[in-house]
Structures are given as structure tokens and as C-alpha cells.
Chain A
Amino acid sequence: MSLAQQFRTGDTPLPDIIILTHKLARAYDMGGEVVRALRGVSLQIRRNEYVAIMGPSGSGKSTLMNLIGCLDTPTGGEYWLNGQKVSDLGDDALARIRNKEIGFVFQTFNLLPRATALHNVELPLIYAGLGAKERRAQAAQALERVGLGDRMEHRPNELSGGQRQRVAIARALVNDPSILLADEPTGNLDSATSGEIMEVFGALHRQGQTVVMVTHEHDIAAHAARVVTLRDGLVATDQRQAA
């Protein structure tokens, strides 16, 4: 925490702080009863950091990831991404940011079942408005990067779990996003395959990619340089560790 900027409402984050949340809150109105999933999370993540988010079930990890990923909007506090205050942007602007700045990796892969690996990886480029040729080339390159250059025409059901997650990682990377967000990316994989996927994340981080990853497992979190723990919608601990 020593390196963090002392941030107050009205300030602008320092240039190398890629993610800054300030007293970020998210409450759900459940028919009169309010569930406060996040109760004021202040967090700063620098470019090229590798952060693991841990915490018990229901502590708000996924809620935080959705806010950081601009899939959801906070009910309180501020969120700055890459020098831009996104907590009060509209739907279309958020869609643009998801397309350009953010790469998602999900626990359940979330590939389109009927599309080939290559086409799945092309999707973000379609929404970025790229031409077919360029799209194909970039998607193929992203698949090569995760070691699936020889599986481009396979459909998800013709791939193993680990391979599917690699396709998902290639899809997350293809737009060259500012941050890579992964919510329990190894949750559906056996430990050997999990190890391989963590190798991929490690390599990406070494190439300069900023990575934020939610996990339940300490040996997965051990790959990260920094571990943030949530409890009841608040940051409980925030520690740097030797990688």
C-alpha cells in the first residue's frame, strides 16, 4: 500500500495507475431488502501488475471483477480505468471500453459452441470493426500465442477443457487490452491443466500484460505478485509477495 497514491474524490489517478477504485460500492435491491455486495472498495493497480483476488464465497469478488470489467456499474464510489473515469459512462461507451481495454477469461470458458476456435477469437475484432482479412490474421496470431496454432478450425466440443480456456485467453488478448481479467479461470480444470493455464498467464505477465485474477486456491494465487483479500464486500488484506 506504500506505493499507492493518496486519492480523494476530485483527484485524477497518476499515469501508471491503470485501475483505481475509490470507495466503490455495489448494492442490490432485492425487493426492499438491500444486499450490499461491495461496501467501499478502494484499490489501485499499476500497469504490468499481476494481482490475485481471494476471499470466501459471497465476499464480492465477482461483483468487483464485473465492475472493473465495465460489465456492471457501481451504485457508489468512483472507478478510473487507464486515466478515464468510467463509473459514470453510458452503455455504448462502456461497450467500447470492454472491446478496447478489457480482456475477459471466465471460469466456464463461454465460447460460442457452434463457432470454430478461430471465429471465437475473431469476435472482439468484429465489434472493433476490423476487416475480415486483418481479423483472421490477428486471431490466428493470438491462437499461436497460446499454443493452439494447429486447432484453429476446431469447435469447442472438439477441444479439451485446457484447450478451450486457451482459446478464451486468445480471445481476451486479441484486442491487445490494457487489462486481462480472469474470474476463477482454473475453477473447471484439473490441477495439471490448471498448471498449464497458469504458465500461460505467467508468460503473458512477463511480456508486460496487466493481469487481475480471482481464485479460491492458494497455490494458484501464489503465481501472482500481489494478493488482495476481500471479506464482506471490503478489502481485508492487500499483500505483495515474492513470485
Chain B
Amino acid sequence: MTQLFEGIGIALGSLRGNKARAALTILGIAIGVMVVMIIASMISGINRSVQHTFESIAPRTFLVWRWFQAGVNISDGSEETSPWRRNPAISGEEADRIALLPSVRYVTRRDESSARVEFGDLALESVNISGLSSQWVEVNGGDVYPGRTFTRLEDLANSRVVVINKKLEAQLFRGRDPIGHTIKIAGVPFEVIGVYTPAPSLFSGASPPFAGIPHGAFEKYVPFWKGWMKLAIAPVEDVPQQQAIDEVTALLRSMRSLKPAQENTFSIITQDKLLDTWQQVTGVFFLVMIALSSIGLMVGGVGVVAIMMISVTERTREIGVRKALGATKREILWQFLVEAATLTLVGGAIGMLVGGTVAWVLSKATPIPAYVPIWSIVVALAASVLTGIGFGLYPANRAARLDPVEALRYE
């Protein structure tokens, strides 16, 4: 114990004495640890709110998409890497037929685009516009206040009514009551009937301006990329989700005349599946994190070997003296290992402070809800200490094996 403290004291002393050399080592370790901290904090933060988002959506609702790839895929536009081309678009007729299934309570459609939105003299470019069925608030979570969302009748009649989110309200109306006013979407006038607040979620604090209009009106008035309609389906109460999924699958397969051997030409996504996918994405993040931080730790490790070899050489006489006074090999080894670990621990602590600060800034200045989990602190500090011990072993062993007579004679 005393020797541990003494070792740390010596280490800090030699850090002060060899600032330039120590800086390289500390920098390497600090970068490694910083990367761990930042990425870990991002993953944890996003994970937290993803979970929150999923919990806030009606849990039994599932989605029918034209294409959904579990995991991450990179496309060059060819047929093999763009397999969605084999899948036909989800049609309105399919949506209508699904709505008639006994296990289905309701189906909401969703198409997305962006368009110019105007109010009086004000104009905003590229506002997110969604075409939605009337039950969309129940599917997405959140609520509409003040005002209301559009009714089934307005939906069927392609009425020009719009629900806007808080951000768009703030940008267009600047504190005035928006209900009843008319705004132009893609040049077409719509009446504002409600203000939407989403369920607290991933990017809720910074969600961009958004306007939701009836799906029919969307198709009629807003230019959009056709063929990517998504459906959200809520099963009837008391019917298991799986039963509804089976019925929807069977219906779509028969409508598309798929033979038993053929795969589905559509994707059904449940929240479990989305969570799985999310976890795969975080897995990739983790790999990147491990790769980057190991490079940092390696650089730091090489620095440790260099600085410790110099330290051992410079202090050859000291090692001789300590041996003459009764230090065993193990005690010398321990002293230098503690010194190496102290060096890397200082680097680790600096990296942690910087990384923690970056995570904090990220969470304040961007929509990424980064937060630093305790485990990442433990992992970061443990990794830096282990790097010190691992890379310090060679120089420390050199020191421990020095012959005392030779060491005492060293000039």
C-alpha cells in the first residue's frame, strides 16, 4: 500500500519531469478513452429515448412497409443492393382491404414529402409534410392541443385542413393563435385546425417543422415520391397481435398472388423488430468505438513503452540504490507498473473529462440525447490502467532484472 502511494508519487514526479514525452502517451490514452466516452454516451442516450419512443407508441400497433432491412445496408442503386425494387408499392386498395379484416381495428396510411409553407408574408422552405389517416395520433402517440386533428369525414373528403407541430407554429405564428388561420402548403391553402405535440421521444426537443394533412389531400395537392406509402395497423382489442399479423400477411399474399414458396414482397415490422434493428445499429457503433479506442490506446501504449524505457534508463542508478537497500525484483517491477498505470490513468482521466464534456455539449446543442453511463467510466478507467500495466510490463521487467552492482556503477 505504501509502495502504491510511493509509486504514484514517483510517477507524477516523473510526469512533471518529462512533460513532452508524457504528453504523447497521455494524448493517445486520452483519445482512446474520449472516443469510448463519447460513443458510449451517444448510444446510451439514444437507446434510452428509443426505448422511450417505442414505449410511447401503442405497443400492439405494427407497420406494413414496402421494404424494411434489418440492420445496416449500403446501396449502389443496382438490383442486388436495392432489393426493394422487387417489391411492389403498397396500394390504396390493399390498405382498404386490410381495414376490412376482422382482427384489424384501424389502418392508417402515411406518405411523406417536403414543401414550401406560407403564412401571410412568411415563407418556409422544405417543411416536412405528411399525408395521414385520421387515427394517426393514436398510432404515433402524442396529442393535439389546442385544436383537434382531422376527422374521418375530412379524411375521406380530402379536406384542406392541417395539423402543425409546435416548431412550425412558432416559426409561422410567433405567439399568435394559429387555429382557424389559413396557410399555404405547396401553394394550396389549408386551414389550421390543431397543434400537435409528439410523445417525448428521440429528437423531440429539436423536431423540425412539420405539417400533417389528410392522406387524400396530400396525394392531390402535394408533390411527393410515389410508391412508398406505409401502413400502421392496430389490431382489434382482445385479438393477439400475431393473429392480426397472420391475417394481414395472408391477405397481402393472396392479393399479390404469391405462391407458397415465394417470399413476402412486403415487410411487416413490429416494435420488437425495430428494437432488434436498433440494437444491431448500436452494435456497429460499438465496433467503431472499439476500433477507434483501441487505436488510441495502442498509440498510448507505445508511448508508455517509450517513456518507461527512458525512465528506467535514466533511473538505473536509483534502481541500483533501491536494490541495495533491500528492494526485491517484485517490488521494483511493481513500482514501475504503478508508474506506467498512473501515466495512463492520468490520460484516461483527461480523456474522460473531455469526452464527458463533449457528451454534455452534444446533449445541449444537438438533438442527440447523449448521457454518460457509469459503466463507460468504469470501462474507460479500467482500459487505461490495463494499457499501462500491459505495455509497462516490458520496461518494468527490464528494471526489475537489472544487476544491482552494474546499476550502481551506471553513469
Contact = CB atoms under 8 A, between A and B. Distances in A.
Interface string B328-350: 11110000000000000000000
A72 B320 CA distance: 12
A112 B404 CA distance: 15
A92 B325 contact: no
Instruction: Classify the secondary structure of A's interface with B.
Output: helix
B321 A112 contact: yes
B326 A127 contact: yes
A69 B320 CA distance: 13
A140 to B, nearest CB: 17
Given A66-B405, A71-B408, A112-B318, A126 B324 contact: no
Interface centre among B320, B326, B408 (most CB of A within 10 A): B326
A117 to B, nearest CB: 15
B408 A98 contact: no
Contacts of B324: 69, 71, 98, 104, 110
Contacts of A135: 2
How many chain B residues sit at the interface, stated as a range, is 20 to 34
Interface centre among B13, B317, B324, B404 (most CB of A within 10 A): B324
Nearest to B3: A126
A95 B326 contact: yes
Interface centre among B13, B323, B331 (most CB of A within 10 A): B323
Interface string B1-22: 0110010000001000000000
A112 B13 CA distance: 12
A91 interface: yes
B110 interface: no
B307 to A, nearest CB: 17
A110 B317 contact: yes
Interface in A121-161: 123-124, 126-128, 131-132, 135
B323 A95 contact: yes
Contacts of B2: 126, 131-132, 135
Interface in B308-325: 317-318, 320-325
A123 B13 contact: no
Contacts of B405: 66, 71-72
A110 B329 contact: no
B6 A126 contact: yes
Contact of B325 (A127, A131, A132): A127
Interface of A: 66, 69, 71-72, 91-92, 95-96, 98-100, 104, 106, 110-112, 114, 123-124, 126-128, 131-132, 135, 171, 175
- A-B pairs with lowest CB-CB distance, top 6: A99-B326, A127-B326, A95-B328, A124-B325, A71-B404, A110-B321
